[in-house]
Structure 1
Amino acid sequence: MKFMPHRPRAAEFLIALLAWTMLAATEGAAAAESLPVIAHRVTLEFDVAAHSVQVLDEMDVPPGLAYLRLGDGFNLESIMGTDMAMLDPQVVVHPEEDENGPYQRLDSSAMGGFLLLKYSGTFHQPTDDVVFSRETVGAEITATIGPEGIYMSSGSEWLAGNPESLATFDVTVTTPLEFEPVTQGRRLDHTPAGDVLHTRWQAVHPSDGLNLIANRFVVHELELAGGIVCYTYFLDDDPTLRATYEERTAAYLEMYAKMIGPYPYAKFATVENWFPTGYGMPSYTLLGGQVLRLPFIPYTSFGHEICHNWWGNSVFVDSSEGNWCEGLTVYCADYHYKELESAAAAREYRRNLLKDYAGYVQDPDKDFPLSEFMSRHSGATRAIGYGKSMMVFHMIDRLVGHDAFLAALRTVAAEHQYLPASWGDFLTAFGAAGGQDLASFRPQWLERTGAPSLALEDVAFADDQVSFTLRQSEPTYILDVPVVVGGPAGDQEHVLRVTDAVTPFVLKASGATRISVDPDCHLFRRLDPAEIEPTLRQVFAHDDVAFTTGEANPAAREFAEAFTETDDPVFSTDETLPAAAGAGVMINPSAAAAKRLLPEGLYVSGATVVLDGKRYDLGQVDLAFAVADPDQPGRTLLLVYSRSPRRLAGLANRLSHYGKYSWLVLPSGRGKVERGNWPAGASPLAAQRP
């Protein structure tokens, strides 16, 4: 079993922490049968002025663990082993490095079952330039301590552990009096003492890492049904915002308890971060302040983070077959909310995932099988690890039936609580619940790269039937293809099994006048280019973007540098784009350069914009829209209009949140961003009776 190293999972948000009590021996027994469990009893003392932490970790280490890892940034001051014997760090500690970076290797096989580690570290990472959005993941902050806040990620390996083990935690924290710490598990103590605050946190269930954050929080708590405590840790007191998150917390906990099973923790806390994050930890979520206050977040991404308390935080990822939990969390959260909204909203969500794949995974070198997905760090990894994965769960849902699908989820959640689960565990549960043979799913959806492409050919309508041929790309897949035939009596869906490259069909359909293949995007497939309208995503997806402007404006170059995250973008002021560029961005283009690029319904003249009959003033708004390059088929152009140098310089990061749209009208202040999509072209997977 390959156990995935623990770190906060981003996405639209994700994971990190756990715990210990005297009950761990009984409540953690099931996990201990699968993986060894280290028990930590930790004392932390922070000095924010010195950016430092002192750590005393009393550990019970189970037999069989050959070594422990401790972060490279810590100074080991003393090691005490079994029988209180002092051990020489120079003998039992060795510097090592692997794909995760440098670390200190402790030879635990020579230390016995008890260890007392004393060590310290100094950490201060700048957070001013951290970027976190759907399209962009910036540099990850692993540990930082200072007057602006404390953040200790499990990714910094600030507690000694082993990738093939779990751990429980009993943590006592000393911080400046005004700093409120929060971590996973139950808070047992909260005692001011002079100019410091002592808190103690304990959780009974084994996990794969611990994160801790502290800041000048305004803390509120509310007991929910079942005794679960709902906390808010906000940097400013905001009763309206607090009430919104309390209400949504209660609603999501009830939703997922019915869908998956009982909530696995004693509390849930919503924690505001001072730099951009979107992380789901066991029993809490850590959201950047700007994201926290976006009006749609409590109804969308916030639920995704709560859902992670089942998938990823209490059912762990056995990564030997890839990381399944991002796709499943999207299916149970983001996509499920669209299903609750309407069938049309759910269809558009699936279509957007297929557009993501078509846009970000054009280069075969960026493709990889789901069995190799660990975490997202780019548009391509997100399109596969989140989007393709979600579509695989959707296809299984349609194959086995929704009731059987949910029953299988409950089975996995119950049988693997506080234990790792693999794709194979899910496929076994789905097959058993639905009475289906899912043998073909693993090789074609988990172990292969790519996606099938479909074509509709040789369509012929007769009075009582329609004949046609379905062609798929090679190597072929075993596909259940939805085909919708319409006529005077309405539409009828047929699900056709396709296994060969070319398969002819004849369907009985009296008076049929139209046919379409997978019109609702139920299959994970590569969309035909004609099915996709120009979007900002098609520009973000390219590494070789060129920029041009029709004016001498330093802010335009700042925009290009922020867009590409480089100091040397391909940039010109003569309004020409190199033919070799994969995509182009035209910043405040001249009227002559933009004239033939304006789509129908869009008019730009001076400071006036008219879009679908609505007038805007470029003094008050910025405009961005994507169009197909008429001179270079397959290339997308992004036109950006901003009359404010200050707004233009910061616009690139703002656009990164809206990649799925064709056009944006962005207000100068905090107002609502208006957005939409141009109509897609006629689908080659549809035909009408002449």
Structure 2
Amino acid sequence: MTRPRLRATGLATAALVAAGLLATPTAASAVPAKPTPAPGKPKAAPGKPKPGKPCTPRYSPGAPSIGDPYFPDQGNGGYDVKHYDLDFSYDPATQVMDATATITAHATQNLDRFDLDFRGPEITSLTVDGKKSAFSRDGQELVVTPHGKLKAGKKFTVVVKYAGVPGPVTDPDGSIEGWIPTDDGAFVVGEPQGTPAWLPSNDTPTDKATFRFTAKVPEGLTAVGNGQLLSQRTRNGWTTFVWDSTEPMATYLATITIGTFEVTESVTPSGIPSYVAIDPRLVAGSANAVSQIPKMMEFFTGKFGPYPFASTGAIVDYAPQVGYALETQTKPIFSNTASVGTMAHEIAHQWYGNSVSPERWKDIWLNEGFATYGQWMYTEFNGGATVEATFNNSSNYGRAATSSFWQVLLADPGPMEMFSSIPYNRGAMTLHALRGKVGEEAFARILRRWAAIHRYSHAATADFVSLAERESGQDLTAFFDVWLFQKGKPTSW
């Protein structure tokens, strides 16, 4: 995610509900016993259906969760989303959103029912492949029973129409996300579970899709989304913005933030279009950070490999109640003035966290540790403290061995600590220690290969350990054990 989005800890907790079991599939109709073949006739080949007696396919509900213990209701099984298309209007005066979400997906099993994640306003209609379909809501689960069954491999389209007031979601650590009203619009962020507040979706980092947003807002306001701006037109007091994100994106990285912005469009030295939108109150304080985006892009491309997306930019909005920044894909978003360090962190996330996303939320150090280490490297490159000095300072390895900072497993910090300083700082320290262990050349290969192998996909801690051993030619079991899988301050590795 971002900020370093060091979210506050010790705030109100949210109870985690254990994941529900899958419903037992409906039994297929009985198949008659196979008759004894006539003398002289060969038996049918084992495992092959008898001619004229095709097996009746089984249909069953898709799983209502992907089974992530941090957020047991998150994500769904049985299908793979390919594209989201959201067409909506939003009036900050009433905070009412009137929306039509069109979701294109492929069934990955024979489905007679499936779930979407949705915490948003009242649904007025729902169709699957143009046919009115039954649905029910249970917490964040939107349970859909299509008019006709969906065979594995079938492409299908779900259209959900809804209207009302979307709102924020509160996380276990007390921080908020989702659709957050501001004094001039809405600040829209989704990590780790906020996107279903305003968009029916398969809300898991492991199901990426392309996105298009068509946002209609009162004239004078700007709606800023992921990807590239396709069109903008004003008519009858309303302005419609169409944003297109053509590279696969996890739902938690989506945004369509609305407000009064000063907009700057430009192109980086390497030819990547940039769209920066800043609340007028924050222009002066964010100028230095925003001006360095092209420089950061060039620096990180040299370290991590080709930039993975077709556009870049930033959104700097005034939402002081939020208190963090987020690496929303192609345009990091800030809830207040953007600093150089935080901007570098969020730009680094475009490779690590966005293009390469975590398989499960316990792998969050792969997001935050990489982005924090990128921030440290850029600070050194930009004339600030060296990476070695940052590694050793009092916020990092200089902490006493008795500090609670060392008493959480980095590879599984839990939902209360996943956005504390532990995944950020200890994650970055792990990478710096690895750099010293395997040497500069192997470490540089590891950074670039990680971004290349898992581009537009997701990966887990075990995948990174395997890559590091492969690229370095070393057995790193003991190294990763002390840095990732044990509590306590590492003293040798």
Band the TM-score falls in, shorter-chain normalisation: 0.7 to 0.9
Counterpart check, 1:448 vs 2:486: yes
> How far 1:431 sits from its partner (Å)?
1.8
Structure 2 distance, partners of 1:347, 1:109, is 63
**More strand by percentage:** 1
After superposition, residues 192-203 of structure 1 pair within 5 angstroms as: 192-203=234-245
Shift of 1:451: 2.6
Instruction: Pick one of 272, 279, 285 that aligns with 1:228.
Output: 272
Say whether residues 1:181 and 2:223 are aligned partners.
yes
Q: One-letter code of the match for 2:188?
A: M
Rounded Cα–Cα distance in structure 2 between residues aligned with 1:205 and 1:414: 15
Contact 2:377 2:387 in 1 (8 A): no
Provide the C-alpha distance between the structure 2 equivalents of 1:85 and 1:124, rounded to a whole number of angstroms.
29
Match of 2:126 among 67, 79, 82: 79
> Which residue of 333, 337, 360 maps to 1:319?
360
Q: CA deviation at 1:402?
A: 1.3
Contact 1:150 1:214 in 2 (8 A): yes
Match of 2:325 in 1: 278
Structure 1 position 394, deviation (Å): 1.3
* C-alpha displacement of 1:227: 2.3
CA distance in 1, matches of 2:187, 2:285: 23
Q: Which amino acid aligns with 1:288?
A: S
Deviates more, 1:276-285 or 1:151-160: 151-160
* Root mean square deviation, CA, Å: 3.1
Partner AA of 1:87 in structure 2: S
Asked if the contact 1:149/1:214 (under 8 Å) is kept, the reply is: yes
Alpha carbons of 1:229 and 1:246: their partners in 2 closer, same or farther (altered >3 Å)?
Answer: farther
Task: Give the deviation of 1:375 after TM superposition.
Answer: 6.2
Q: Deviations over 1:333-368 (max 9, x none)?
A: 235524764776732543321345757517x9xx33
Paired residues of 1:218 and 1:237 also in contact (CA < 8 A): no
Query: Do the aligned residues in 1 keep the contact of 2:92 with 2:181 (CA within 8 Å)?
Result: yes
2:334 to 287, 304, 316: 287
Q: For the Cα contact (< 8 Å) 1:49–1:146, is it kept in 2?
A: no
Taking a change above 3 Å as real, the CA distance of residues 88 and 357 of structure 1, as seen in their structure-2 partners, is farther
- Give the AA of the match of 1:75: E
Q: How many residues in Structure 1 have an aligned counterpart in Structure 2?
A: 399
Distance in 1 between residues matched to 2:403 and 2:176, nearest whole Å: 22
Match of 1:413 among 424, 439, 451: 451
Give the superposition deviation at 1:283: 0.7
Change (3 A) 1:51 1:173: same
* 2:262 is the counterpart of 1:218: yes
Unaligned runs of 5+ in 2: 8-78, 151-155
How many percent of aligned residue pairs carry the same amino acid? 20
Q: How does 1:284-363 map to 2 (within 5 A)?
A: 284-289=331-336, 291-292=337-338, 297-298=339-340, 300-319=341-360, 322-323=363-364, 324-338=366-380, 341=383, 346-352=388-394, 353-355=396-398, 358=401, 361=404
Secondary structure (helix, strand or coil) at the match of 2:326 reads strand
Other-structure match for 1:11 = 4
Does the Cα contact within 8 Å between 1:338 and 1:345 map onto a contact in 2? yes
For 1:436-476, what per-residue CA distance to the aligned partner results, in whole angstroms no more than 9, with x for missing partners?
111223433322222346xxxxxxxxxxxxxxxxxxxxxxx
Aligned equivalents of 2:463, 2:181: Cα separation in 1: 40
> Is contact 1:51–1:146 with CA below 8 Å preserved after alignment?
no
Give the deviation of 1:75 after TM superposition.
0.9
Q: C-alpha distance in 2, partners of 1:342/1:424?
A: 33
Aligned letter for 1:11? P
| Residue correspondence of structure 1 range 126-525 to structure 2 within 5 A | 139-145=175-181, 148-154=184-190, 155-157=194-196, 158-162=198-202, 163=204, 164-209=206-251, 210-236=254-280, 244-276=288-320, 277-289=324-336, 291-292=337-338, 297-298=339-340, 300-319=341-360, 322-323=363-364, 324-338=366-380, 341=383, 346-352=388-394, 353-355=396-398, 358=401, 361=404, 367-373=407-413, 377=417, 382-452=420-490, 479-480=492-493
Higher relative contact order (CA 8 A, sep 6+): 2
Distance 2:250 2:472 in 1: 32
* Contact 2:282-2:316 at 8 Å conserved across structures: no
How do 1:598-613 and structure 2 match up within 5 A? none
Q: Deviations over 1:215-259 (max 9, x none)?
A: 011111112223212222122288866763453011000001110
Distance 1:351 1:387 in 2: 11
1:88 aligns to 2:145 (yes or no): no
User: What secondary structure is seen at the aligned counterpart in 2 of 1:281?
Assistant: coil
C-alpha displacement of 1:432: 2.1
Name the CA distance, whole Å, in 2 between partners of 1:343 and 1:233. 30
Question: Retained in 2: the 8 A contact 1:304–1:333?
Answer: yes
Indicate if the aligned counterparts of 1:230 and 1:249 stay in contact, CA closer than 8 A.
no
Decide whether aligned partners of structure 1 residues 269 and 345 sit closer, same or farther in structure 2, where only a CA change above 3 A counts: closer
Relative to the length of structure 1, the TM-score reads 0.53
